Amino acid sequence: MSEWVKKRVSNPYLRALVLGLLDIFYIARLGLSVEGIGSNFLRFFEAVGGIVWLFIKSLVQIFLPPYRLREILKQMEIAGWQSIPLIGITVGFIGLVTVLELDYQLYRVVGNIDYVPGFAGILIFREFGPTVVSAMFSAKVGAGWSAEIANMKITEQIDAMELNSVNPIKYLVVPRLLASVVMLVALSVVGASFAFFAGWIIARQNFSFWAYYIMMSKFIRLTDLGTLFTKALVFSSVVPITSAWYGFKAEGGARGVGEATTKSVVSSILIIILLDFILNTLADKLLKIVLE
């Protein structure tokens, strides 16, 4: 086919275009074939399965000695401190945008903006607090961890560990897992508060601080704060386990490290979104059951 094209089309740009399209069509035919799509899905499920299994193994390892408190504290510092600037800035802007956007939406819908703080509060405490903070955490800290562990894998340090009867899960994953749980919950709370104050910067055109606060608290129940905690707790285990899992699987030199990092960030965020969806659905159902 390409021979035919080369002979018939003389304009080099046109020829390059057609040949390029042919190449892509050929690759696409392979990629989009049933095996192609199917195998992608299979790989993702395989990944999820592997990650869940690693999570269980790590949970077990938490309770076995030695308990390396210093390592855990060190990871907590990395996880907590390093991500504060990124999370602070992103959540801050989210707070600003939420109130701005809700001003616009609610004004059109009900004609006044009284309910904006309440609505904003719901979004901030139930969604943006845990979810966005976790996503940013994954992008900064999770990426760092998977790069670190992937590097160790390709320099064969993981193998060296196992040969020395050190369990890499105990040594590498557990401290990061514990650090994540503590830090991400804290960061979610801090992040939500940040968004709260950022929201006020916009809302102060129309509300006094007390009005803002009170309007918001009218709509936020204790269960919402509970949601914040629960979500943060659940998401916090996703990031370290996923990063570690892709890190352990890395191969192929510097390129492998890059691949592991990319895949772990994307997978973490995807899993967080899925879990968020499931938790939201369950929360509604639970609430219905409780109320009836």
> Which residues bind to other proteins, rule: CB under 8 A?
6, 12-13, 15-17, 19-21, 23-24, 27-28, 31, 40, 86, 89-90, 93-94, 96-97, 100-101, 103-105, 107-111, 115, 118-119, 122-123, 126-127, 135-136, 139-140, 143-144, 147, 151, 219, 253-255, 257-259, 261-262, 265-266, 269-270, 273-274, 276-277, 280-281, 284
d(CA 139, CA 261): 9
* R_g of the chain, CA atoms, integer Å: 24
CB of 197 to other proteins, least distance (A): 15
CB of 14 to other proteins, least distance (A): 10
What's the distance, CA 48 to chain centroid?
14
- The token pair at 163 is 């040969």
C-beta of residue 267 within 8 angstroms of C-beta of residue 233: no
Collapse the DSSP code of 88 into the 3-class scheme (helix H, G, I; strand E, B; otherwise coil) and give the result.
Answer: helix
CB of 72 to other proteins, least distance (A): 23
CB of 194 to other proteins, least distance (A): 12
Give the residue with the Cβ less far from other proteins, 174 or 212: 212
Beta strand segments in the chain, E: none
Give the residue with the Cβ less far from other proteins, 57 or 258: 258
Give the residue with the Cβ less far from other proteins, 50 or 258: 258
- The token pair at 267 is 């997978």
d(CA 83, CA 233): 17
Give the residue with the Cβ less far from other proteins, 14 or 56: 14
CB of 266 to other proteins, least distance (A): 5
d(CA 248, CA 176): 14
Q: Name the DSSP letter for residue 112.
A: -
